[in-house]
Amino acid sequence: MNEQKLNPTLMEYIIALLNIPSAEPGPKEGTEAEAPDINPQSAKIACQMIRFMDEMPGGFFIYHADDTEEIIYANKAMQRIFMCDTYEDFQELTGNTFKGIVYPEDLEDVEKSIWEQISHSKYDLDYVEYRIMRKDGSIRWVEDYGHFIHSEAFGDIFYVFVGDATEKKKRHLSEQTVLLRENTMREEQLKNLIAEYNKERKQINQEHLRRLEVIEGLSVNYESILYADLDTDRIMPYRLSYRTAHQFDEIHQIRSFKWYASDYIKTWVHPEDCKRVYKSTSPSYIREKLSESKTYYLNYRIVNKKDTQYIQLRIVNVGNKDHISQIVMGYRRVDDEIRREMEQKQMLEEALNSANLAIVAKNSFLSNMSHDMRTPLNAILGYTLLAKKHIFDKTALLGYLDKIEASSGQLLDLIGKALEISWMESNDVRVAEGECNLRTLMQEIYRDIFPQAFEKNISLSLDFSHVKHCDIYCDHDKLKQVLVHLAGNAVKYTQNDGNVDIIITELEKLPNNYASYQFVVKDTGIGISKDFIDHIFEPFEREKNTTFSGIHGTGLGLTIAKNLTEMMGGNIKVDSSPGNGSAFSFILRFRLQDVPLQPSGNAANTIAQLMNHKILLVEDNEINMEIESEILEGLGFLVDTAENGLAAVEKIKRSAPEEYGLVLMDIQMPIMDGRQATKIIRGLDTPALAHIPIVALSANAFESDKRLSIESGMDAHLTKPIDVPLLLETISRILQTHKVLFNDSL
Ligand code: ADP
């Protein structure tokens, strides 16, 4: 507390005067202040001061700065402030203490504030505001300017100037309220701004997160990621895989987006895909595509050290939806996927094609079928009518019936083949594997085809001289069916006096006791045009020249033959040209039987050597003679004939020793039968002639017949019709034993 005193003397005078009982206003009771010596001059000033204080417009009071806080003096204005009529009223209202002046709720803070201010003030001054309660109970605000002084005579005192501050306070309060309101508003605005900012920030963060997620999402499936901004024309790698990094120069640097086209595409993209990739990665195209959907793909090839790789590029919009600029480009190699896709696509395309083809084929099959059926049916109906009309004309009737029979045969053939095809298509037709002897098979084929060949004077020959293993496992019926079809066609499409050869060649022995065989059916017929060869296996296809020529056919035989061959694992090939004959061939592989009954190599040689000699065929029946000669000549033998036993004996007698290698002798013949003739020949003087191999060729197949033949001196007894393989086998066996006699010339 500052001990400095401001005009103490005057204040002390004033206080002293105030304490003089006679003085106005009177001093407090019990105050025992020791009055200073007052000189008259000072007393006069003090009195003037008191009067002045009394009349001051503002409140003024003096009180003891001790616990009592007793008021020493309060001017009239104080009475007014408290709405007291008299000083006594004021004293009663306030208890004549400073404590009584201050509104009780404010007192503690006010006293504390005063003493704090005084302790810090250089001049012991303080300023406080507080409420007071007036006599009428109303509350007013006052401002209090206090000054602490210490008097030697009267102790510590405060003198205080008080003014009514209610209006000022109100003003202040309203100003504060306004300010507060403004502040609150401003605070509110600020809060709103912050909230908006936070919201935006959150959105931005979310957007960033979304982009990151997109990029990271891409990173999972795509090896390399590039980020590009089309607006600012820049592109930069975000992540590069070791496999593709070199394509992007391995540098994580920002480039112009133009680099992509000028460098990347130009260097890496397959020339055939370049144009497409240029177009699909141009900024305008990207913008257009990404305005339609968030992402799009592009598949293309790149050339990496001459190796073609399939790449999938995925472009994703990671920026604004309405303004496409920020994009991410993901790359990954999709070689396997694309390859699989391409294979699948091809498979689907093939399936579709074959489905379409199947529909077309079925339709044309049905329309061809109905057309082809109508022709013989019309003939049957027409000739039936004619037959009825000429029922009493036997010759004409027979002619019509013949024609009806032929047309019915054609119809039957057609229906049979059509059924066979549809059966093959709709059933799970399996290839059976049974024991089969190729020689026997050939013989059967020969037998089937021979009558037609004979009718046209076509030389039909079999050649299986290059077959080492005849005993095989195969589907006998299917193989026969194919060969009969081919050989039948060969005869059908070959003019009279032509040649048809059926040749089997064993190509190679395969592991696991398998061997492959080539089957060739060759003719010297009309041949086939190059254009038609492409369609020859399609159902109902017939070349014009064959239809115009009136040769009956269905156009189904080769379809069946081809299907069957394929089932057995082969593929029919055609080699032909118009006028130069045709050769149909296919190769099949068969499992060999364990104990093949093959003629030995010597036997094959023997037969080959026999071909240098004549065979004397002794036969009285002209037709048989022709057929048998045909067969033998077809096999490559030179044939001479004799119409009975006697003629045969004559020819042998007249022959040179090695002129004939074999006699095939019929048994029952006019003039001289076969056995008689044999006996005569065996009795000839020239050993080479007497021991000539003689084989009976008879319609009789009883054991007794065989025995009689052998007893007559024959080497073997075979039955008609000629079983070519058996004949060859027999010949070879006999010739082997006669070798010595022929001086090894056979
Ligand atoms: P088809 O003989 O009953 O007409 P195919 O399916 O067997 O039916 O033969 C189809 C067509 O192929 C024949 O009509 C004919 O034009 C031609 N073709 C078949 N084999 C021969 C062949 N050996 N020589 C000439 N043309 C042939």
Q: What angle do CA 35, 38, 40 make, to 5 degrees?
A: 150
Could you give the residue ranges of the DSSP H alpha helices within 471-549?
476-492, 530-533, 544-548
Q: Do the beta carbons of residue 245 and residue 224 sit within 8 Å?
A: yes
Judged by average pLDDT, the poorest of 318-332, 609-623, 724-738 is: 724-738
Check pocket membership of 564 for ligand 1, CB cut-off 6 A: no
- What is the rounded CA–CA span in Å between residue 601 and residue 249? 74
Strand pairing report for 155-164 and 573-576? unpaired
Check pocket membership of 542 for ligand 1, CB cut-off 6 A: yes
pLDDT tens for 616-649 read 999 988 877 887 887 788 777 888 999 999 999 9
Question: How far away, in angstroms, is 362 Cα from ligand 1 center?
Answer: 20
> What's the whole-number mean pLDDT along residues 11-18?
75
Q: Do the beta carbons of residue 454 and residue 630 sit within 8 Å?
A: yes
Check pocket membership of 555 for ligand 1, CB cut-off 6 A: yes
Check pocket membership of 543 for ligand 1, CB cut-off 6 A: yes
Judged by average pLDDT, the poorest of 258-267, 424-433, 462-471, 679-688 is: 424-433
| Residue located nearest, by CA, to atom 8 of ligand 1 | 555
Question: How far away, in angstroms, is 490 Cα from ligand 1 center?
Answer: 8
More confident residue, 333 or 459: 459
Pocket probe for ligand 1: among 452, 489, 531, the residue whose CB has the most ligand atoms within 8 Å is 489
Bridge partners, 125 (sequence order): 147
Which atom of ligand 1 is least distant from the CA of 560? 6
- What is the rounded CA–CA span in Å between residue 666 and residue 645? 8
| Residue located nearest, by CA, to atom 7 of ligand 1 | 557
- What is the rounded CA–CA span in Å between residue 317 and residue 310? 23
Check pocket membership of 565 for ligand 1, CB cut-off 6 A: no
Q: Do the beta carbons of residue 280 and residue 265 sit within 8 Å?
A: no
Whether the model clears a pTM of 0.85, i.e. scores above it, the answer is: no
Which atom of ligand 1 is least distant from the CA of 543? 16
| pLDDT for res 125 | 93
User: Which pair of tokens denotes residue 689?
Assistant: 């002639």
> What's the whole-number mean pLDDT along residues 654-663?
86
pLDDT tens for 319-333 read 888 888 988 888 888
Check pocket membership of 16 for ligand 1, CB cut-off 6 A: no
Average pLDDT taken over every residue of the chain: 83
| Residue located nearest, by CA, to atom 19 of ligand 1 | 489
Q: Do the beta carbons of residue 634 and residue 461 sit within 8 Å?
A: yes
pLDDT tens for 481-528 read 999 999 999 999 999 999 999 999 999 887 778 899 999 999 999 999
Judged by average pLDDT, the poorest of 148-152, 311-315, 376-380, 419-423 is: 419-423
Which atom of ligand 1 is least distant from the CA of 559? 6
| pLDDT for res 609 | 66
Question: How far away, in angstroms, is 456 Cα from ligand 1 center?
Answer: 17
Give the closest residue to 736 by CA, choosing from 671, 636, 661, 629.
Answer: 661
Which atom of ligand 1 is least distant from the CA of 584? 23
Pocket probe for ligand 1: among 542, 552, 563, 585, the residue whose CB has the most ligand atoms within 8 Å is 542
Pocket probe for ligand 1: among 493, 499, 537, the residue whose CB has the most ligand atoms within 8 Å is 493
Q: Which residues contact 492 (CB under 8 A, 6 or more apart)?
A: 452, 551, 553
Check pocket membership of 558 for ligand 1, CB cut-off 6 A: yes
Percent of all residues in the chain with a pLDDT value above 90, rounded to a whole number: 32
Check pocket membership of 489 for ligand 1, CB cut-off 6 A: yes
| pLDDT for res 604 | 58
| pLDDT for res 305 | 79
| pLDDT for res 212 | 75
Judged by average pLDDT, the poorest of 2-16, 93-107, 232-246, 684-698 is: 2-16
| Residue located nearest, by CA, to atom 10 of ligand 1 | 555
Rg (CA), the chain: 69
Could you give the residue ranges of the DSSP H alpha helices within 549-686?
557-567, 601-610, 622-634, 645-654, 674-682
Nearest 5°: phi and psi at 63?
-145, 160
Question: How far away, in angstroms, is 493 Cα from ligand 1 center?
Answer: 7
pLDDT band at 561 (very low <50, low <70, confident <90, very high): very high
pLDDT band at 5 (very low <50, low <70, confident <90, very high): very low
| Residue located nearest, by CA, to atom 2 of ligand 1 | 553
Residue 320: exposed, middle, or buried by beta-carbon count in 10 A (0-12, 13-18, 19+)? Answer: exposed
- Max CA pair span of the chain: 215
Question: How far away, in angstroms, is 555 Cα from ligand 1 center?
Answer: 7
> What's the whole-number mean pLDDT along residues 675-680?
92
User: Which pair of tokens denotes residue 255?
Assistant: 């480039």
- What is the rounded CA–CA span in Å between residue 109 and residue 92? 24
Q: Give the range with max mean pLDDT: 112-121, 314-323, 377-386.
A: 112-121
> What's the whole-number mean pLDDT along residues 89-94?
94
| pLDDT for res 6 | 42
SS3 82: coil
More confident residue, 320 or 565: 565
Question: DSSP letters of 245-300?
Answer: GGGGTT----B-THHIIIIIIHHHB-HHHHHHHHHHTSHHHHHHHHHHSSEEEEEE
Check pocket membership of 491 for ligand 1, CB cut-off 6 A: no
| Residue located nearest, by CA, to atom 20 of ligand 1 | 489
Check pocket membership of 417 for ligand 1, CB cut-off 6 A: no
Question: How far away, in angstroms, is 501 Cα from ligand 1 center?
Answer: 17
Give the closest residue to 613 by CA, choosing from 661, 656, 655, 652.
Answer: 661
Check pocket membership of 692 for ligand 1, CB cut-off 6 A: no
Percent of all residues in the chain with a pLDDT value above 70, rounded to a whole number: 89
More confident residue, 101 or 359: 101
pLDDT tens for 360-369 read 767 777 777 7
Question: How far away, in angstroms, is 588 Cα from ligand 1 center?
Answer: 22
- What is the rounded CA–CA span in Å between residue 158 and residue 98? 10
How far from chain centre, in Å, is Cα 501? Answer: 53
Question: How far away, in angstroms, is 489 Cα from ligand 1 center?
Answer: 6
Question: How far away, in angstroms, is 655 Cα from ligand 1 center?
Answer: 46
Q: What is the DSSP letter of 627?
A: H
